[in-house]
Amino acid sequence: MRRVIALALVALVTGCASTPPEDDPVQIKLKDLDDRLVRVERILSNQAEMAQHQEDVQSAVRELRGRVDELENSSQAMRKQQRDLYNDLDKRLNAMGAGGNGAGGSSVPPNAQNNGTGGAAAGGAGAGGAPQGASSVEQAVYNQAFDALKASSYSTAITGFKDFLANYGSSPLAENAQYWLGEAYYVTRDYDSANGAFRAVLDKWPNSRKAPDAMLKLGYTQYEQKKYADARKTLMDVTQKFPNSDAAKLATDRLAHMPGNAH
């Protein structure tokens, strides 16, 4: 009997040990709440990242819009400047065409007259045709380059004037070719080349009728190159050396409108 009771107790203890205890309801609830909190935190973190990303995108869009506005304003300013350059050149060419001298643009534009240099300048146009001493071949070659300039074929004009100067550097038309070479460079915004071309006029023909215009456009060129101190000095020289010329009036006007930091 004792043995039977002992076996029964062993079986009871073994059965109790193998039966898992029931989960604590409080622990189950806490675990569920913890899992839900983790999910909420994950959602909030994702939303915060999305919000930051959206703000970054909006900031980038604002920056791009600002850049677009700047580019549009810059483009408009460049187009206006280009139109002004073309209009200025067109007026000069038309003024020369209205002279009626038949020299194919070898005459001097109105703003190159009354320059105080005295006498007929070297290379000045004759009353009824080419400058005195210019051959028909020189005139024909010069006319081709000048016609290209009037037609706004600037690269062709530049090549033509350079060839003319290389082959007929001592021609009475050479100073005109040199000046209009500078104008062709200037209107195409090749300011370094324009600077050299206008300086060549002043170096080789300092007392010619082209000198006031060449010095004026040299000042304009230096301004475009942001060489403001040089531009101011050159424009002042125009007003002092050619006080009665139209070039001096234009130089005075440009000096009056130069920004305060351009000195």
pLDDT in tens, the chain (263 residues): 666 555 555 555 565 555 555 677 878 878 888 888 888 888 888 887 887 777 777 767 666 656 665 565 555 555 655 666 656 776 666 665 544 333 344 333 333 333 333 322 333 333 234 456 789 999 999 999 999 999 999 999 999 999 999 999 999 999 999 999 999 999 999 999 999 999 999 999 999 999 999 999 999 999 999 999 999 999 999 999 999 999 999 999 999 988 764 44
Residues 148 and 204 in one domain: no
Is position 258 within any domain?
A: yes
pLDDT value for 132: 61
Look at residue 72 in the predicted model and tell me its pLDDT.
Answer: 56
164, part of any domain = yes
**HEC states along 227-255?**
CHHHHHHHHHHHHHHCCCCHHHHHHHHHH
Whether 146 maps to a domain, the answer reads yes
Q: Is residue 53 in some structural domain?
A: no
Q: Report CA 11 to chain centroid distance, whole Å.
A: 100
- Which residue range(s) make up the domain with 213? 198-263
| pLDDT confidence of residue 247 | 95
Domain count, the chain: 2
Do 208 and 253 fall within a single domain? yes
Domain identity same for 257 and 208:
yes
**Phi, then psi, of 107 in degrees rounded to 5:** -75, 170
Q: What gap in Å lies between CA 115 and CA 21, rounded to an integer?
A: 117
- DSSP codes joined into one string, 158-218: HHHHHHHHHH-TTSTTHHHHHHHHHHHHHHTT-HHHHHHHHHHHHHH-TTSTTHHHHHHHH
> What's residue 110's pLDDT?
31
Rounded CA Rg of the chain: 43
User: Within 10 A of 252 (CB to CB), how many other CB atoms are there?
Assistant: 15
Residue 172 and residue 203 in one domain: no
Q: Is residue 54 part of a domain?
A: no
Last residue of a domain, one of 159, 188, 217: 188
Q: What is the value of pTM for the model shown?
A: 0.56
Asked if residue 156 and residue 137 are part of one domain, the reply reads yes
CATH code where residue 207 lies: 1.25.40.10
Residue-level pLDDT at 27:
80
